[in-house]
Structure 1
Amino acid sequence: MKLGNYSIRGRLALFTGLAVGALCIVFSLVLLVALNRMATRSLTDEVTAVGELTAYYVDRGELSNPLPPIPQDLVRPVQVVDPHGRVVAATKDLQGRPAMAHFLPRSPRRVASQVVCDSILTGGRCHVVVAQQVYRDGNWTIYSAAPALPFYVYPGVIAILVVGTAILTLTVVCGARRNVTSSLRPVEAIRSQLDHIRSTNPGRRVPVPTAKDEIYRLARSVNQTLDRLESVLDQQRRFCSDASHELRTPITAMRTQLEVALMAPEDTDVPQLCDAVLPSIERLQAIASDLQTLTRLDTGVPGDRQKVDLCELITMELGASNGKVVQRLLPGVTVLGDRSGLGRLVGNLVQNAQRHASSTVTVTLRRGNGDPRFPLGIAEVEVLDDGDGIAADQRETVFRRFTRLDTARSRVAGGVGLGLPIARQIAESHGGTLTIQDSDRGARFVLRLPLHS
């Protein structure tokens, strides 16, 4: 079964259980090895004591076969081998048997031990054999032995470790699951609240826990995202409403003109009808073109970035415009951007200025500095008209979509309220700004773009 089928609580509990179980197993193995070594060392010392007791009799010449009695708590198989390698004495259980081992202790220690398997010792088990030498007319060797201990030392030890591992693992798993459940309870509340948020009630927000942990930061980020989504939804609703209103006006005019022509086709002058309908079609075409531009800008699709000479670009845009325009252009001011987009930006500003100017529009291009946002310097374009100007409290309003301060005059002039929003969005997509500054007369639009090195 895949882990993805489990909840977070289940996966964390399973991982914790496996980790704790593995650690307990490793700890148990290390403990068993340590206990085995300690018990084997103790057993070896006991076997060595038996050999030393026998060596005492050999050294005193009191050797007898079978060997003299050994205390009950030290009874072990013992053999005495003479300097010629013959077994000359042994305990009763090894009478008439060959030597249990053939290794000798290395001088000067005079004592050595090994684990010997497949020897004459009975039981089919490996034995710990200790060899000791005593000098008496040659080197006599005393072998004493005891069955080797299993790796778990005693059955009760491994039983305790198995039960302890199971209890500890289950305890940790239950504790981890309970702790994760408690920690994820705010997440469940957030999920439940998100399920109830729809486009019809975007004002609802998820609960923010009091503990300032990761879930607290998650809840705040979710609420901030919901704030932005609500703002976008409101903007989209206003946009759709304004766009439908703007489209309805020329469509209604065209429908009325066509219906009148159909009611009296014999009195209809086709060229005159076309002249009447064409302005509405041009208006629809302008709205569609602006909406397409806004869609591209909203999606953040970048245009081709290239080195653009603003003096040359502005000169070309002003050459295609109507009306009196005073040019104060500094040559050699270059930026990096989309040439067609920057041309659209300048054209929109100039058209807006001409639409509201009394007689003259002044376009100025210069270099600027002192703004920390533009470390390489500023390319500053100023478009100034000599019209009535824009009130300070309305300078941001004109950058909203489908906004016209003078609706009737703008519609006659052909404006649909999208030129300035498009211009600002193009400026921001190039890392610049577009604002309205104070002036003695008229409206003064200031475009700032980062210079290209």
Structure 2
Amino acid sequence: MRTWKQYSVRTRCAVYSGLTAALLSALFAVLLAGLFHRLDTAQVTDVVDGAASRIALNVQRGRVHARLAHGYVANLQVADSQGRVVAASAPMSGKGPMTSLLPPAGTPHAAPNARAVICGSTALGHNCHIVVEQRVYGVGHSWTVYSAAPAPPLVDPGLAALLIASVLAITGAVTYTCRRIVGESLTPVDAIRSELDEITVTDPARRVPIPPHEDEIHHLAESVNHTLTRLQGAMEQQRQFASDACHDLRGPVTAMRAEVEDAMMAEDHTLATTTGETLLATLDRLQAIIGDLLIIARLDAKTPGARDRVDLAELVTAELDARHPSTKHIERELSPGVLVLGDRLRLARLLANLVNNADRHADSRITIKVSRAEGEAEGGQDGDPRFATGTAILEVLDDGAGIPPDQRDSVFQRFVRLGESRARDPGGTGLGLAIARQIAEMSDGTLCIADSVRGARFVLRLPLAPKARS
């Protein structure tokens, strides 16, 4: 059994609007019927009151006959002070007084007339009548004039039929109009849904149609297209990543296969030692690629890191002291007390990747600097709210050949290695700088390549810890 929410929006809106229109129309019809009944009652009351006044005037003039002539108001009576009917119209002939609305004659401050709706009176029958009772005074005498006419029905049958037909017509018109309007409004939604159903992995460039009107559906279509654009970018990045990973993994595997085949075909069994050493070196590179791929997978998953207070100078000192000896001279220019909030292990990996990159490209010297800049403008991040507390700056410089300005952004892409880099270190993974920039961005910082007199100059900027400014 279908629940109410399982029906379409078009049907639900039409039903809601139809019920609302029916209730409001019915309420208006009831009020209108009540108004017409009140007007009819007032009109009949005036006619009955007029007939009583005419008979009273004739009584005062002494021109009353036993048989009263009547028109629309057929129920007429005249009674003396003793309550005896002395004159009556034909329908009321031989009947007693139709009612007693007024107090007995002579009652002080008594009203001269009275009006009421009487139902079930013996003299008038069982139907409801509008009765007017009027007292007339003469010389030593008093008379009571009675006048009555049938009360209008609560609702006239013709009027009731007209009101019911009007309520049904209004309800039907509102329901149809609402369903049509909602249907036309939801037509772009159907087009968007149909287009989304047609978009597949093999054709991710398609976009949903955007309605021309600036309404909520227009903004929805724009948001859907923006989402599709991001999904397409993520899919392309995933394809490129898989392609690059397969390309870089295929090289070590091919090299190992060739070494094994050469060793199997060689007659000299002492070649096994050389082959083993070659395979170990290749396996080291393969292990490094796999390790970098795992780090990238964790970073892509947006796994939040720790938020420790890290002293950059202490971090640099600890990492350099733990490094294997290098043929390059490493200079340190470290300002103490430069504190940032971040994951110490990730920041250490970022630093290691920058130093390893500098070690591969430097001719003889590597310089590592740690400094701080108070305020946004000095930190080079004007208008960026992330650096409102100040900027911590870590620079890694080498005296190598440097990186051309037009290639500075591409070196941060995954598996991208410049020709000079491949010549110096064919065993690199091409992922170190990509990992470093991703760690910087996840730490609310930036990593870029700045101009330098000689060699490459990598500049990491991180927000200072809030209490570090003082």
C-alpha displacement of 1:383: 1.7
The match for 2:445 is: 432
Does 1:27 pair with 2:3?
no
The number of equivalent residue pairs is 448
Q: 5 Å matches for 1:315-334?
A: 315-322=317-324, 323=326, 324-334=329-339
Residues 408-430 of structure 1, C-alpha deviation per residue, up to 9 Å, x if partnerless? 23653x42111211221222222
- 1 CA distance for matches of 2:109 and 2:282? 118
1:226 to 210, 225, 228: 228
Residues 265-323 of structure 1, C-alpha deviation per residue, up to 9 Å, x if partnerless? 99267765543333333323322222222222223232233333333333323332344
Report the RMSD for the aligned CA atoms in angstroms. 3.3
Does 1:445 pair with 2:448?
no
C-alpha displacement of 1:158: 1.8
2:197 to 195, 198, 205: 195
Paired AA for residue 354 in structure 1: D
The match for 1:74 is: 73
C-alpha displacement of 1:434: 1.4
Q: TM-score, normalised by structure 1?
A: 0.85
Q: 5 Å matches for 1:407-422?
A: 408-409=422-423, 411-412=425-426, 414-422=427-435
8 A contact 2:446–2:461 mirrored in 1? yes
- 2 CA distance for matches of 1:296 and 1:327? 31
2:149 to 146, 149, 163: 146
2:383 to 357, 364, 372: 372
Answer with 437-446 or 315-324: which moved more. 315-324
Does 1:346 pair with 2:351?
yes
Shift in CA distance, 130/107, structure 1 to aligned 2, threshold 3 Å: farther
Q: 5 Å matches for 1:256-405?
A: 256-261=258-263, 267=269, 274-322=276-324, 323=326, 324-368=329-373, 369=375, 370=377, 371-373=382-384, 374-405=387-418
8 A contact 2:102–2:113 mirrored in 1? no
C-alpha displacement of 1:235: 1.4
C-alpha displacement of 1:120: 3.0
- 2 CA distance for matches of 1:451 and 1:88? 115
- 1 CA distance for matches of 2:437 and 2:20? 58
C-alpha displacement of 1:390: 0.8
8 A contact 2:97–2:123 mirrored in 1? no
8 A contact 1:101–1:119 mirrored in 2? no
Paired AA for residue 328 in structure 1: E
8 A contact 2:79–2:143 mirrored in 1? yes
Does 1:173 pair with 2:175?
yes
Identity of aligned residues (%): 46
Residues 315-337 of structure 1, C-alpha deviation per residue, up to 9 Å, x if partnerless? 32333234433222222222233
C-alpha displacement of 1:155: 1.4
Specify every segment of 5 or more residues in structure 2 that has no aligned partner in the other structure, as ranges.
none
> What SS class does the counterpart of residue 336 from structure 1 fall into?
strand
> What SS class does the counterpart of residue 72 from structure 2 fall into?
helix
- 1 CA distance for matches of 2:200 and 2:179? 33
8 A contact 1:81–1:99 mirrored in 2? no
Q: 5 Å matches for 1:94-243?
A: 94=92, 95-97=94-96, 99-100=98-99, 102=101, 110-120=112-122, 124-135=126-137, 142-152=145-155, 154-243=156-245
The match for 1:42 is: 43
- 2 CA distance for matches of 1:405 and 1:106? 123
Paired AA for residue 403 in structure 2: I
C-alpha displacement of 1:101: 5.2
- 2 CA distance for matches of 1:106 and 1:360? 129
Shift in CA distance, 22/339, structure 1 to aligned 2, threshold 3 Å: farther
8 A contact 1:333–1:451 mirrored in 2? yes
The match for 1:51 is: 52
- 2 CA distance for matches of 1:161 and 1:441? 94
Shift in CA distance, 411/151, structure 1 to aligned 2, threshold 3 Å: farther
The match for 2:9 is: 8
Shift in CA distance, 99/167, structure 1 to aligned 2, threshold 3 Å: closer
